[in-house]
Amino acid sequence: MLKDLDILPEDPVELRAVSELLMSEVKALSLKVEQLQHQLHGANRHRFGSKSEGLAQLNLDLQEDAEIVEAAEAQAKAPPSPQEGPGPEPKRKHSRKPLPDHLDREDKELSPGNDCGKCGGTLRTLGEDVTEELEYVPGRFKVKRIIRPRKACSCCETIVQAPLPSRPIERGRPGPGLLAHVLVSKYGDHLPLYRLSQIFAREGVDLDRSTMADWVGRSTALLEPLADAIGRMVHQGAALFADDTPVKMLAPGNKKTRTARFWTYVRDEHAWSGQSPPCAWYQFTVDRKGVINAVAQFERDLLIERTQAGLARAKSEGKTLGRPPALSGEQQELVRQRLANGESVSAIARDIKTSRQTIMRARDAAR
């Protein structure tokens, strides 16, 4: 475009060239304006228009699940519930904070009795061990104190003490009610553990996210037999429905994500008036191999179930299972004649009331 439009050429040919140049410049600017208007319209629609919920908005974070898996493995490797008695026991390292004083205390005393179990003498109290267990009642916390007096016999100096009752996490503070609340909040109400920590902090109870992740991991190890039983119940159905939900999982080491999958296996027989209640079984895999393994297991279970049902039905009908009996000499001669006449093996087996394999063996022997 000319820098100074006040100086126009007087030659008609040069004037026509300037006009064509101005027209091309105006056309280019018009196209640029339309392009910018289109971009502005898209930006306004993205910012102010209706939005649909996408997977990125869900922000599925599986970081704390790694800590849960570690706690579950540690719980699975842990020894059975220790009994009170001599012998060193491996102790886990804890960085616990004291339980708040404003929480209600509920004392439960476990006494070994007043008489010595060895000599029958009277027991005197030497001291007591107090184990505090943080429990949760819907709507409020309370501390359940288990008091176990240590008593000594006045005659033989035998020291006795009642053992601790069975607890979900040995040497841990959470009670069954608190563990159930944390599990339901995380997996039923979809509350991350850091949000639960903030909720508990408003009630004056300081529970760190990593502490609850350890609780969840050890609880999943305790509930694994129940999950396996649900899986077996789902596999016993006449039909198995399976579907997967892809999720992004952070791959350790390379700061990238990979596609993992949540698998849902459903047994639902209400469509054909089945009597079994519907149930669902959930699994997590880092690839698509989970459905292949589940379907193969389902086919094996179904084959075993049908084989057992067939054996039971044959036994109830008085049938002898195994290889069919061999043909008599008269039957073998009849089979050879009918085969020579061109009759089919199935027809001969149906008339003689035997299997096709028996007729084929007789045919091969005749040859």
Under 8 Å between Cβ of 91 and 78? no
Is residue 296 located within the same domain as residue 180? Answer: no
The HSE-up count of residue 271 (CA atoms within 13 Å, CB side) is 7
User: Can you give the pLDDT at residue 53?
Assistant: 47
User: Cα Rg for the chain, rounded, in angstroms?
Assistant: 39
Q: How many CB atoms lie within 10 A of CB 116?
A: 21
Of 167, 188, 220, which residue constitutes the final position of a domain? 220
Q: Which residues contact 128 (CB under 8 A, 6 or more apart)?
A: 147, 148, 149, 150
Is residue 299 located within the same domain as residue 262? Answer: yes
Q: Is residue 91 in some structural domain?
A: no
Structure tokens at 30: 């018009």
* 79 backbone φψ class: left, alpha, beta (φ>0; ψ -120 to 50): beta
Domain count, the chain: 3
Q: Which residue has the tokens 């508990």?
A: 200
Q: Which residues contact 268 (CB under 8 A, 6 or more apart)?
A: 241, 278
Classify strands 279-285 and 159-161 as parallel, antiparallel or unpaired. unpaired
Under 8 Å between Cβ of 134 and 99? yes
Is residue 68 located within the same domain as residue 185? Answer: yes
Question: Among the residues of the chain, which ranges form H helices?
Answer: 12-48, 55-58, 63-77, 176-183, 193-202, 209-235, 289-316, 329-340, 345-352, 356-366
The β-bridge partners of 249 are: 258
Closest CA relative to residue 292, chosen from 267, 266, 251, 263: 263
Phi, then psi, of 352 in degrees rounded to 5: -85, -10
Closest CA relative to residue 268, chosen from 233, 309, 308, 228: 233
Q: Is residue 294 in some structural domain?
A: yes
Is residue 303 located within the same domain as residue 349? Answer: no
CB-neighbour burial class of residue 180 (10 A; exposed 0-12, middle 13-18, buried 19+): middle
Q: Cα(168)–Cα(180) distance, rounded to whole angstroms? A: 11
Q: Is residue 198 in some structural domain?
A: yes
Q: Cα(75)–Cα(218) distance, rounded to whole angstroms? A: 5
Q: How many CB atoms lie within 10 A of CB 358?
A: 20
User: Can you give the pLDDT at residue 32?
Assistant: 92
Is residue 70 located within the same domain as residue 182? Answer: yes
Phi, then psi, of 362 in degrees rounded to 5: -65, -40
Q: Which residue has the tokens 């096709």?
A: 356
Is residue 185 located within the same domain as residue 300? Answer: no
User: Can you give the pLDDT at residue 217?
Assistant: 92
Q: Is residue 323 in some structural domain?
A: no
Of 220, 250, 284, which residue constitutes the final position of a domain? 220
Compute mean pLDDT per 10 residues along the chain, 367 residues long, and list them.
63 84 90 91 80 51 74 76 53 73 89 87 89 83 90 90 88 89 92 92 90 92 90 81 85 80 86 81 79 62 69 70 62 76 74 66 65
Is residue 148 located within the same domain as residue 213? Answer: yes
Q: Is residue 34 in some structural domain?
A: no
Q: Cα(357)–Cα(337) distance, rounded to whole angstroms? A: 18
Of 316, 339, 358, which residue constitutes the final position of a domain? 316
Is residue 279 located within the same domain as residue 215? Answer: no
Q: Is residue 26 in some structural domain?
A: no
Structure tokens at 268: 């639902």
Under 8 Å between Cβ of 301 and 235? yes
Is residue 69 located within the same domain as residue 188? Answer: yes
User: Can you give the pLDDT at residue 55?
Assistant: 47
Q: Give me the domain span that covers residue 352.
A: 329-366
Longest pairwise C-alpha distance within the chain: 136
Q: Is residue 298 in some structural domain?
A: yes
Q: Cα(120)–Cα(113) distance, rounded to whole angstroms? A: 11
Is residue 69 located within the same domain as residue 189? Answer: yes
Is residue 68 located within the same domain as residue 216? Answer: yes
Is residue 252 located within the same domain as residue 303? Answer: yes
Q: Is residue 82 in some structural domain?
A: no
Classify strands 159-161 and 104-109 as parallel, antiparallel or unpaired. unpaired
